[in-house]
Chain A
């Protein structure tokens, strides 16, 4: 079973920041928080991941609380093309580098004009 809890759906106005929350209260010390998204009729796409520090890349920012029990994915200026299902996943990173992804239901983000 997925170890994360996300709201089933959210709306966001085009051009505004989209803030997607995720609860992972049972996360272990060696588990990372990953975010993927899935645009309709496509395979999931990696967005970002982090352990305990905030992370930023060209797609998004990831804010992880100090106790690591929750996180927020931020899309700073949402566009219509960001409409997708967003998955928050926790997974361990071991020496084998083969940790599988356990997907939950995700959050359906609808960006509106």
Chain B
């Protein structure tokens, strides 16, 4: 069974630029999550989708972050404009009805 795929694996941008991350969840998983992990901390949930609807985006900085999950499969997370404090690893995870979350390898973002 293929795991959660994410791209790119690494991204370096300058502040005020925009960036987008892509996630392909495990086939058949209805729930998709985006987490932000700052160095030395545990992951923090940014947004959670159930199929193509948003379940929880309470921690998403909506003035600069946006996410979508068209057709209830792939998802894109965008930051525009990026700030220095957005430097982190962005993790995508998916789950089925069994509740266990499967994580992708993450995208490491560096904002200069």
Chain A residues within 8 Å of B, Cβ to Cβ: 2, 41-46, 49, 85, 87, 93, 96-106
- Closest B residue to A48 by beta carbon equals B100
Interface class of chain B by DSSP? strand
Known: A43-B103, A43-B105, A45-B103. A97 touches B97 (CB 8 A): yes
Binding site for A on B (CB under 8 A): 4, 31, 33, 41-45, 48, 50, 55-56, 91, 93, 95, 97-106
Can you give 29 contacting A-B residue pairs, CB < 8 Å? Answer: A41-B105, A42-B103, A42-B106, A43-B91, A43-B93, A43-B103, A43-B105, A43-B106, A44-B101, A44-B103, A46-B100, A46-B101, A46-B102, A87-B42, A96-B50, A96-B55, A97-B31, A97-B95, A97-B99, A98-B48, A98-B50, A98-B56, A100-B45, A100-B48, A101-B43, A103-B41, A103-B42, A103-B43, A106-B42
- What is the number of contacts between chain A and chain B, taking CB atoms within 8 Å? 56
- Of A41, A44, A87, A106, the most chain B CB neighbours within 10 A belong to A44
Binding site of A, secondary structure by majority: helix, strand, loop or mixed?
loop
**Distance in Å: Cβ of B55 to nearest Cβ of chain A:** 5
A63 to chain B, nearest CB (A): 20
| Across-interface contacts of A46 in B (CB, < 8 A) | 100-102
Closest to A85 in B: B42
A98 and B43: CB pair below 8 A? no
